[in-house]
A and B are shown apart, each in its own frame.
Chain A
């Protein structure tokens, strides 16, 4: 079981450790800076932290457990002379990394390979632990990429990356908004996946168009990779065929709206969500913060509340801010209002580590 968490916040990176049975803040790095995401690579023990310095741009740092060093950041290729493309408001899209929104380790047979998803939609891969990056041009140059739109941000972005544990060349990425994209040749070619999802924010003829889907988070069960779970802008969807088709999970109390989802590493039917009322009311229902859990692939859900605030709680949990450790026992999540909770029993009960952190963007077990 993991005894360490990285908590990425608007004002620094907090390392939270378990000692003598208690979770507490053990270290703070980049204090005052906007840390948006981390990756801990179990293959070699390296950690990665993405920062957004605002004025000075997006940066990446790497640690082998002994301090952080700045490394290369993904860089977009030169935009061809005279070429312009525009966002959904008609503004020119700058080919420049606006945010690092996904970091994922390659397969166990690919030491040093790291995947990185960004705004405005570029996917990058490093073969040397982030010392250098190459853009996956096959996806960026895909004609349908221009149909991606802003969702979670004004610009489209890749926020979820799933590497097939059986075959590292097979990779799924999810885009807000742009649906799910799949490669089975290591990124040389891509096809759209995700039939069966449903979007309410487009005209009826586009409702089921896979490219119109605002996937908030996509996860894959490591022990049963055919099973994928999606927290979508319009609900919860589950796939039994590697994301080719999805079915919608309905009638979940208190809600099916949210950003985050995690799936148990060995039990594909077990997944957790953090619901909010709905898209235009992004707060917990009745001020009660709950985590929902299904153990039967979505037929039934439990609302887990023990240890979570049930009065005047307005916590929002972003897509990378819910984490599950490799054993499937320990969970943690952080909120936009600076709350951080940990569970050591699959969510049956929760302990508050802090409710005074800066806004939390991401929580990851190290």
Chain B
């Protein structure tokens, strides 16, 4: 299962502890995470389930490219970081 780590800055709004979830894409993994932590979903994804404008996701150190569908591939040993982008202040 992939490891998912959230930015420390989100923690004061909604607790997002480091977790593990299964899935072949970023979407699959995050869907599993948000089943367990539904409040976090709206902090990371917009109303169309795309990545919020000023959120960045890294998979194994690389920024994902598909911000709308989150189709970037994830392996069982991947680490996903959910960060704030420097854009957005």
- Residues of chain A touching chain B, judged by Cβ–Cβ distance below 8 Å, are 53-57, 59, 70, 73, 75-76, 78-79, 94-97
Residue picked from B44, B47, B52, B89, most chain A C-beta under 10 Å: B47
How far is it, in angstroms, between the C-alpha of A96 and the C-alpha of B44 when the chains are bound? 13
How far is it, in angstroms, between the C-alpha of A70 and the C-alpha of B46 when the chains are bound? 17
Partner of B47, one of A53, A59, A75: A75
Least CB distance from A44 to B in Å reads 25
| Contact call A76/B54, Cβ cutoff below 8 A | no
How far is it, in angstroms, between the C-alpha of A151 and the C-alpha of B64 when the chains are bound? 34
How far is it, in angstroms, between the C-alpha of A301 and the C-alpha of B46 when the chains are bound? 46
How far is it, in angstroms, between the C-alpha of A75 and the C-alpha of B54 when the chains are bound? 18
Least CB distance from B10 to A in Å reads 6
Chain A residues with CB under 8 A of B10: 56
How far is it, in angstroms, between the C-alpha of A55 and the C-alpha of B8 when the chains are bound? 13
Chain A residues with CB under 8 A of B46: 57, 94, 96
Instruction: Scan residues 55-89 of chain B and give those whose CB is less than 8 A from a CB of chain A.
Output: 55, 84-85, 88-89
CB-defined A-B contacts under 8 Å, sample of 24: A54-B88, A55-B54, A55-B84, A55-B85, A55-B88, A56-B10, A56-B13, A56-B43, A56-B44, A57-B42, A57-B43, A73-B42, A75-B42, A75-B47, A76-B47, A76-B48, A78-B48, A94-B47, A94-B48, A95-B47, A96-B46, A96-B47, A96-B48, A96-B50
| Contact call A56/B47, Cβ cutoff below 8 A | no
Residue B39 is within 8 A (CB to CB) of chain A in the complex: yes
| Contact call B47/A97, Cβ cutoff below 8 A | yes
Least CB distance from B79 to A in Å reads 21
Residue picked from A54, A56, A78, A79, most chain B C-beta under 10 Å: A56
Chain B residues with CB under 8 A of A96: 46-48, 50
Interface string of B16-50 (1 = CB under 8 A from A): 00000000000000000000000100111011101
How far is it, in angstroms, between the C-alpha of A57 and the C-alpha of B88 when the chains are bound? 11
Chain B residues with CB under 8 A of A76: 47-48
How far is it, in angstroms, between the C-alpha of A240 and the C-alpha of B89 when the chains are bound? 45
How far is it, in angstroms, between the C-alpha of A54 and the C-alpha of B86 when the chains are bound? 11
Chain B residues with CB under 8 A of A73: 42
How far is it, in angstroms, between the C-alpha of A55 and the C-alpha of B52 when the chains are bound? 7
| Contact call A57/B39, Cβ cutoff below 8 A | no
How far is it, in angstroms, between the C-alpha of A95 and the C-alpha of B46 when the chains are bound? 9
| Contact call B39/A70, Cβ cutoff below 8 A | yes
Least CB distance from B88 to A in Å reads 5
Least CB distance from A51 to B in Å reads 9
Residue of B nearest to A72 (CB): B42
Q: A55-B84, A94-B46 provided; 13 other pairs, C-beta below 8 A?
A: A54-B54, A55-B54, A57-B42, A57-B43, A59-B13, A59-B42, A70-B39, A75-B42, A76-B47, A94-B48, A96-B47, A96-B48, A97-B47
Chain A residues with CB under 8 A of B84: 55
Least CB distance from A45 to B in Å reads 26
How far is it, in angstroms, between the C-alpha of A100 and the C-alpha of B43 when the chains are bound? 16
Which 7 residue pairs across A and B have the least CB separation, nearest first?
A: A96-B47, A96-B46, A76-B47, A56-B43, A55-B54, A55-B84, A75-B47
Given A70-B39, A73-B42, A53:B13 Cβ within 8 A:
yes
Chain A residues with CB under 8 A of B54: 54-55
